[in-house]
Amino acid sequence: LTMTVRDATPADRPRLLALNEESEQELSELDMQRLEYILSLAHRTLVVEGEGEIAAFAIAIAPGADYDSRNYLWFGERYEQFLYLDRIAVAAPHRRNGFGARIYDAMEDSAVPFRRMVCDVNVDPPNDVSLAFHKARGYRELGRLQHSEKAVMLLSKELAITPVSAG
């Protein structure tokens, strides 16, 4: 299976909205206006194409954005440097086929200058698949936040800036 990671374009927005809707239980509801607001704040928005269609997307926001997300603000109160993974969605038929890992690899590369990538995962209701995925990638729990309809675990992965060796 060929996977291509690229930056999202405005033409991708209807597909991003559809993918988000498919994963609303794990993410949060979006309409086009909210999606455009989040994209306007984004440091990086990536898509992964497979079989000629967008199979996954992820949006990350750097510190200092005027973002109203409680989870984002929680990290902003504690860290000067981080890249916040606001959301990631993988189309149901493509889950557990490496699309999530591929987009995380690319997003973590984008996060290296910020020294850490942070995100949140539902713990009530629990998203065990996502929790296991993050643990396997080296994310650790920093805290939890209770929202009216759910609780999330706040996670961080420290990213070392690896010097390029000479020769």
pLDDT tens figures, 45-95:
999 998 889 999 999 999 999 999 999 999 999 999 999 999 999 988 888
| Separation of alpha carbons 106 and 62, rounded Å | 15
pLDDT for res 157: 97
Phi first, then psi: give them for residue 139, nearest 5 degrees: -80, 145
pLDDT for res 165: 59
- Predicted structure pTM score: 0.91
pLDDT for res 27: 64
More confident residue, 77 or 96: 77
Residue (of 126, 115, 98, 105) closest to 157 by Cα position: 115
Residue (of 50, 7, 59, 54) closest to 30 by Cα position: 59
pLDDT for res 160: 78
Residue 99 burial (10 A CB sphere; 0-12, 13-18, 19+)? buried
DSSP state for residue 43 in the 8-state scheme: S
pLDDT for res 142: 97
Give 4-59 pLDDT, tens digit per residue. 999 999 999 999 999 988 876 666 778 899 999 999 999 999 999 988 899 999 99
Give 131-158 pLDDT, tens digit per residue. 999 999 999 999 999 998 889 999 999 9
| Separation of alpha carbons 53 and 62, rounded Å | 28
How is residue 18 written in tokens?
């559809």
